[in-house]
A and B are shown apart, each in its own frame.
Chain A
Amino acid sequence: MECYSEQTISIFVDGELAGEEAQRLRDHLATCRRCRQLLDALRVENRVLSESLQELPEEAASPAGSPHVPWSFGWGDVAVVAAVLAPGSIVVGWIDKLSIPEALQWLNPFSLNGRTNLFFNLSYYFANGGTAMLGDYAAVIGMIFLLLLLGGSALLLARRWRPQQSGLRLLIVMLALSLPGFALERRHSEFVVTVAANETVDDTLLATGNIVRVEGVVNGDLLAFGQSVEVRGTVKGDLVSFAKRTVVSGTVEGNIYNFSNSLDLDGQLGHSIYGGMQSLRVNDRGRVGGGILVGAGDVSLEGEVTRSATVYAGNADVSGSIGRELTMAGDSLTLTNTARIGGNLSVRVRQLKNVHIAAGATITGARDIQVRVRQSRFARPRFYFYRAVWLAAAMLVGWLGLLLFPGFFQASTQAVGSGWRSLGLGVAVLAGVPVAIILIAITLVGLPLSLMLLAAYLAAIYLAKIWVGAFLGQMLLKSTTATKGDWLLALLVGLLVLTVVGFIPYLGGLVRLGVGCLGLGAFAWQLYRASRRAITI
């Protein structure tokens, strides 16, 4: 009789040959020495397999023969990104050098104006949840982030935190309960919140709405969040405004703390203006009882400022009067014939031709106008010293982290390699956590929590470069072993590379942003995994 195939005998050895056929094979084996030998060899082989599998493969040899440092971007993606970035950075440099008409300056995202504009628009959208400005695409992006964040956390909560996590539920209930107990008067509306002309609010008023309009009297402070905040009546305390546009045509007796795209003061202000804004305008009818300390894209002072004004501004125009000194740093300053400055004038600009002082302007004190030539930072030895300190600090932090949480740090480094996942998660965390912090901070009970979150957020941003640096170093060194020494060496190499790349104009900024996002994403992912394990085990 003919011999059986090796495959059939192999199936027989596995005990998987059907009854009748197995019997026939057994009969054949009794007569065939060759097949018996093959059978024995296959049995031994099975035993070898089972025994070998008793232990796990060495970590260095990851299954499926994937490379030691998995990198799902692939060099092709890197090349595409580089190809887009390189001409991009050239174009950007060109745009920056063009003389763009002042009126269009706000469109240029690389000017001070453009940047403040961008910043305010973005922060406004995030703060407002996008309800007010659905038409604007950025608001939509803000919403998507928010929804992703909320939906994602809800999903994770539902999946991961089982009912025994009663502490968390308690926290949620407490947060919910804290809302009505909030000691302020709160008004909220999707559209307009108004304090009517004949109305008086005795407490501090927290108003959120598309338009917040005060025509009556607020005896306490006014905390306003909205698209547009208008004070036509009187606020006896301070005005804290976070809005796209803030107009004060009535009276604010305290200070104005402003974080708006624009602030127009037509009325009376008892004390001072503090804050950051895209444009600040004190109209000719406006009067500031104290001083001004702001960073702004455009500052226009037409009215009266009793004390001193300190502005960091792209453009500052002064045609009104300032009781004491004017200190200005920025791009350009114009003093018209009607301008009066009661004290010294100190100006720091890049180019002298950007300072225009009309002959009729009155300056009582001394003039101190300095041109700040931006010296190349590479020319100063101090710069290298600080970089060395920075590097040493980062290495120290990396070493400590590795010592204290070896698994976590190495796993985070590996998680960077997941590429798009880390990047996407990182962008979401970078944008989402500030929103979460603001949301938590609004409920007073959550204030400590939001401060802790803020600290963790900042720490994570700092740590991001360490993980990415270590990952990059491992990739460059092709280090396969995971000893601490190797990890630290990889970190040093990676940080050096990142530092050098970070100094390339424009591209460097993008790289730093990318590194931050990647690291944050890896960190968030690792945290999520760690929490999962803690719960399951």
Chain B
Amino acid sequence: MRKDRSSREGKATQIEGPDLESVIARAQGHDAEALGEIYRLYVRRVFGLCRYMLESRESAEDATSEVFVKLQRAIESYDGSIPFPRWLLRVAGNQCIDALRRRKRGQQVIVEAAEEVAVIEAASLEPSPLGAVLSREERGQVREAIARLPENYRLPLVMRYYGELSYDEIAQQLGLQRNYVAALLFRAKQELRRKLAHRSK
């Protein structure tokens, strides 16, 4: 793995406001240079989302390429109502879900199961929320634990905390009920806590 991939978002991503707006406006006018600029700015972020959502580096690379190929047209529909990075990650999330669905021959990526929706009452015996673990090593452990979550937990979790998508957006992309997404997210965190607690023992 090349080093530059591992640190997502270099300084380049820092451009904001009018600069970014003008780049997007030019890209919407099919300016190849502006599209290249957007690619340069966001490719790592998009790749990261795909890498977490899909099962192999290969398919993540494929999905990333697809996102930027489609962006040439799709960017026309960006209306500025939400920040561009969020919008782009939504597109990327969609692409990944499509890829996963294709692999399952058109079936739902995550199928709703009744037992997941049951609300877990407070004061359970589950491990407590993750504390502020900030050392590099510990972050790595969290990452690895996320990568090892089953798909139905991993996808919503990554979409929410990496892609910063709203519950509604996640629900729409995965074709699930909103409250089911909420339940999955909560379950995912619990599972993560359990994995990490188990590891630290």
The answer on A and B forming one complex is yes
* Residues on A facing B (Cβ under 8 Å): 3-8, 10-11, 14, 16, 38, 41-42, 44-59, 61-66, 70, 411, 414-415, 529, 532-533, 536-537
Question: With a CB–CB cut-off of 8 A, which chain A residues contact B93?
Answer: none
**Contact at B133–A48, with CB atoms within 8 Å?**
yes
**Contact at B68–A52, with CB atoms within 8 Å?**
no
Q: How far is the CA of A173 from the CA of B122 in the complex (A)?
A: 72
**Beyond A56-B48, A63-B51, A414-B58, is A51–B134 a contact (Cβ under 8 Å)?**
yes
Q: How far is the CA of A64 from the CA of B5 in the complex (A)?
A: 20
**Contact at A532–B65, with CB atoms within 8 Å?**
yes
Question: With a CB–CB cut-off of 8 A, which chain A residues contact B54?
Answer: 63
Within 8 A of A (CB), among B60-118: 61-62, 65, 68-69
Distance in Å: Cβ of B14 to nearest Cβ of chain A: 15
**Contact at B57–A16, with CB atoms within 8 Å?**
no
Query: Which of A50, A56, A58 contacts B161, CB < 8 Å?
Result: A50
Distance in Å: Cβ of A42 to nearest Cβ of chain B: 5
Q: How far is the CA of A351 from the CA of B122 in the complex (A)?
A: 89
Q: How far is the CA of A87 from the CA of B82 in the complex (A)?
A: 65
Q: How far is the CA of A58 from the CA of B121 in the complex (A)?
A: 35
**Contact at A58–B144, with CB atoms within 8 Å?**
yes
Q: How far is the CA of A44 from the CA of B69 in the complex (A)?
A: 37
**Contact at A48–B120, with CB atoms within 8 Å?**
no
**Contact at A46–B150, with CB atoms within 8 Å?**
no
Does B1 have its Cβ within 8 Å of any Cβ on chain A? Answer: yes
Does B139 have its Cβ within 8 Å of any Cβ on chain A? Answer: yes
**Beyond A3-B122, A58-B140, is A16–B182 a contact (Cβ under 8 Å)?**
yes
**Contact at A6–B132, with CB atoms within 8 Å?**
no
Does B189 have its Cβ within 8 Å of any Cβ on chain A? Answer: yes
Distance in Å: Cβ of A521 to nearest Cβ of chain B: 14
Question: With a CB–CB cut-off of 8 A, which chain A residues contact B57?
Answer: 59, 62
**Contact at B68–A14, with CB atoms within 8 Å?**
no
**Contact at A7–B186, with CB atoms within 8 Å?**
yes
**Contact at A5–B51, with CB atoms within 8 Å?**
no
**Contact at B130–A63, with CB atoms within 8 Å?**
no
**Residue in B61, B161, B162 whose Cβ sees the most chain A Cβ within 10 Å:** B161
Distance in Å: Cβ of A451 to nearest Cβ of chain B: 32
Query: Which of A3, A7, A55, A63 contacts B182, CB < 8 Å?
Result: A7
**Contact at B144–A536, with CB atoms within 8 Å?**
no
Query: Which of B47, B56, B131, B139 contacts A41, CB < 8 Å?
Result: B131
Distance in Å: Cβ of A411 to nearest Cβ of chain B: 7
Question: With a CB–CB cut-off of 8 A, which chain A residues contact B56?
Answer: 62, 66, 70
**Beyond A11-B182, A64-B148, is A57–B62 a contact (Cβ under 8 Å)?**
no
Query: Which of A5, A64, A533 contacts B120, CB < 8 Å?
Result: A5
**Contact at B147–A41, with CB atoms within 8 Å?**
no
**Contact at A48–B132, with CB atoms within 8 Å?**
yes
**Contact at A57–B146, with CB atoms within 8 Å?**
yes
Question: With a CB–CB cut-off of 8 A, which chain B residues contact A10?
Answer: 182, 185-186, 189
Within 8 A of A (CB), among B121-149: 121-122, 124, 128-134, 139-140, 142-144, 146-148
**Contact at A41–B158, with CB atoms within 8 Å?**
no
Rank and list the top 10 A-B pairs by shortest CB-CB distance, nearest first. A52-B142, A45-B129, A41-B129, A63-B147, A57-B147, A536-B65, A49-B161, A52-B139, A53-B162, A65-B148
Question: With a CB–CB cut-off of 8 A, which chain B residues contact A14?
Answer: 160, 167, 185
Does B174 have its Cβ within 8 Å of any Cβ on chain A? Answer: no
Could you list some 21 contacts between A and B, CB below 8 A? A5-B119, A5-B121, A6-B120, A10-B186, A14-B160, A38-B122, A41-B131, A44-B129, A45-B129, A47-B132, A48-B133, A54-B139, A56-B5, A57-B143, A62-B55, A63-B53, A63-B147, A63-B148, A414-B58, A536-B65, A537-B39
> In the complex, which residue of chain A has the Cβ closest to the Cβ of B45?
A54
Does B8 have its Cβ within 8 Å of any Cβ on chain A? Answer: yes
**Residue in A8, A38, A62, A533 whose Cβ sees the most chain B Cβ within 10 Å:** A62
**Contact at B55–A64, with CB atoms within 8 Å?**
yes
Question: With a CB–CB cut-off of 8 A, which chain B residues contact A532?
Answer: 62, 65
> In the complex, which residue of chain A has the Cβ closest to the Cβ of B158?
A53
> In the complex, which residue of chain B has the Cβ closest to the Cβ of A46?
B161
**Residue in B6, B142, B143, B158 whose Cβ sees the most chain A Cβ within 10 Å:** B143
Distance in Å: Cβ of A143 to nearest Cβ of chain B: 27
Question: With a CB–CB cut-off of 8 A, which chain B residues contact A38?
Answer: 122, 129
Question: With a CB–CB cut-off of 8 A, which chain A residues contact B48?
Answer: 53, 56
Q: How far is the CA of A144 from the CA of B121 in the complex (A)?
A: 61
Question: With a CB–CB cut-off of 8 A, which chain A residues contact B173?
Answer: none
**Contact at A57–B52, with CB atoms within 8 Å?**
yes
**Contact at A48–B130, with CB atoms within 8 Å?**
yes
Q: How far is the CA of A363 from the CA of B7 in the complex (A)?
A: 84
Does B157 have its Cβ within 8 Å of any Cβ on chain A? Answer: yes
**Contact at B150–A533, with CB atoms within 8 Å?**
no
**Contact at B147–A62, with CB atoms within 8 Å?**
yes
**Contact at B120–A61, with CB atoms within 8 Å?**
no
Q: How far is the CA of A54 from the CA of B44 in the complex (A)?
A: 11
Distance in Å: Cβ of A62 to nearest Cβ of chain B: 6
> In the complex, which residue of chain A has the Cβ closest to the Cβ of B68?
A536
Q: How far is the CA of A425 from the CA of B54 in the complex (A)?
A: 23
